[in-house]
Amino acid sequence: MLTILLRDMIVNKLQRPVSSNYRQSILVRNFLCTSVRRRRQLSLPQLSPYYVNLLLRENEFTYTFTEEDCPVYGYESNQLGANKPCEDARAEASFMHKSGFICGIFDGHRGPACSQAISKRLMHYIAASITDRQLLKEQMQKHCDSQSFLRSYNDKMDFVSDIKDLYEYSFIKFIQRISVRDQTECSKEIQNAFLCLDSDLSKEAINCPNAWTMSVAMSGATACIAYVEGRDLHLASTGGCTAVLGSYNLEIDEWDAKELTTSHDSTNRREVTRVLSQHPREERHTAIQSHRLLGGLQVLRALGNFRYKWSNETMEKYIVPVYGEVAKLPFYYTPPYLTAEPEIKRYKLIPNDKFLIMASDGLWNFLTPTKAVNIIGDHITSKHISDPDRIAAEDKSLEFLVDFPMNSFDRNAATHLLRHALGASEYGVEHSKVSFYLSVPQNVVRLFRDDITITVIYFNNDCISALTHNESRCV
């Protein structure tokens, strides 16, 4: 409560209209953030290290697994919202009927409804899909539900009973469909789970239209899922959430960063080619305009966003009566333009692989993958605490130096990344920058930063080494 009161007190200091021009937003952010002097022009009070830590650590979570044969040692997560409510979501779970760990980062747009819905459902669809078919049928005979396959952690959200019943009905129908067909390879099962959930979101909005189902349908979300079993790491992604593997190179004593996901937007030529190839040549100048799908959506793959998927007939029947003609997109000739099909990569873990960073694009707006891996690598190997002598001069107040030794160290790696993202400078972490980003008023905060959600997964190197040794003996 103290954290919320403090934040509300600060953000009410300044109320200015938000610019609707994206380019102007970037220019404004760059201008205001280039120096401490310009940041002070906003007349925002500088927060003490104690209050900065309260805000940064408000949503942090840590979990350690006790099983020695689990390939994941544990994970740490955190979230810092910019939108109100936050449009990001996250989920983590272990399997009830098999070994393994699964987690996801979900970046919503046009509201939080879709990201909230898929964060509670997608991993359950995946878990059922990759469960052995015979075991799945046995669970169905026991009248299983969506909670029968995963053990979730840090799950603080639930749906009202009517929506929960609707989602359970869809899930039961889904497992009935997959139980009667042959099981395919893991990647295809995960891909099918994405597409089937997206299809269910569409059916629910059409067959059971209400404020919630339509909000889910009209909003959207990108997703990044990591599934670890044994040495196998599967990454499934749609949109802009990014997963980066941190590996330690013993020969040169350095950390290596390897991106395991691809952004699905107009900067990806393969994606642009894919979209344009699915529509008549006459639409090559309208399907993607100003680097956005039909001039509106930045990502080219996402769940939800059915304004970019439904037929014109469906739009006229279900959307226009509720939202009006304004809901229809220009140049909407040959839908669907958007897909929920994920891009899936499989990676074989080795003992040098130490951790995986998964985050929404709010983090990557501040840090490169290489920088993020080095920050976490330094954090877990040396437990490094910045030298007070290297603190920026403007931070060397008596209050700051008194609080610094007790409050500068982050036990949670996701919090540590968050602090570095907001406060990175040539001196290390600049407290005044972190304070600034945490105290920008709500009505202009999106000019400066997006929602940031981070999960750092630590691999159990003893387990992976043993698995690697056993596999080499079998060859």
Residues 367 and 339 in one domain: no
Residues 331 and 398 in one domain: no
Residues 337 and 371 in one domain: no
Domain boundary, last residue among 348, 380, 406? 348
Residue spans of alpha helices (H) in 131-185? 133-141, 161-179
Give dist(CA 312, CA 322) in Å, integer: 15
Give dist(CA 369, CA 363) in Å, integer: 10
Residues 336 and 354 in one domain: no
Is 63 inside any structural domain? no
Give dist(CA 10, CA 383) in Å, integer: 32
> What is the pTM for the complete model shown?
0.87
DSSP letter string, 197-225: HHHHHHHHHHHS-SHHHHHHHHSEEEEEE
Under the banding of pLDDT at 50, 70 and 90, the label for residue 24 is very low
Residue type, 73: Y
Is 305 inside any structural domain? yes
Residue, of 78 and 469, whose pLDDT is higher = 78
Domain boundary, last residue among 348, 378, 407? 348
Under the banding of pLDDT at 50, 70 and 90, the label for residue 11 is very low
Give dist(CA 320, CA 327) in Å, integer: 7
Residues 249 and 289 in one domain: yes
Residues 269 and 228 in one domain: yes
Q: How many domains does one find in the chain?
A: 2
328 touches 218 (CB < 8 A): no
Q: Domain range spanning residue 390?
A: 2-58+349-463
CA distances 61 to 137, 154, 333, 412, Å, are 35, 7, 46, 8
Q: Which two tokens stand for residue 391?
A: 């603190």
Residues 342 and 361 in one domain: no
Is 83 inside any structural domain? no
Q: In 3-state terms, the chain is what percent helix, strand and coil (to 5)?
A: 45, 20, 35
Is 69 inside any structural domain? no
Predicted local confidence at residue 425, as pLDDT: 85
Predicted local confidence at residue 39, as pLDDT: 52
Q: Considering the chain, what percentage of its residues have pLDDT values greater than 90?
A: 76
Under the banding of pLDDT at 50, 70 and 90, the label for residue 45 is confident
Residue 16 pLDDT greater than 70, yes or no: no
53 touches 441 (CB < 8 A): no
pLDDT by residue (tens digit) across 111-139?
Answer: 999 999 999 999 999 999 999 999 999 99
pLDDT by residue (tens digit) across 425-435?
Answer: 887 899 999 99
Is 81 inside any structural domain? no
Residues 51 and 116 in one domain: no
Residue 4 pLDDT greater than 90, yes or no: no
Residues 111 and 170 in one domain: yes
Residue, of 9 and 253, whose pLDDT is higher = 253
pLDDT by residue (tens digit) across 446-472?
Answer: 999 999 999 999 999 999 999 887 776
Residue 270 pLDDT greater than 90, yes or no: yes
Residues 344 and 380 in one domain: no
Is 76 inside any structural domain? no
Residues 42 and 162 in one domain: no
Residues 386 and 406 in one domain: yes
Residue 416 pLDDT greater than 60, yes or no: yes
Predicted local confidence at residue 87, as pLDDT: 97
Domain boundary, last residue among 329, 348, 367? 348
Is 80 inside any structural domain? no
Is 473 inside any structural domain? no
Tell me, what CATH number does 145's domain have?
3.60.40.10
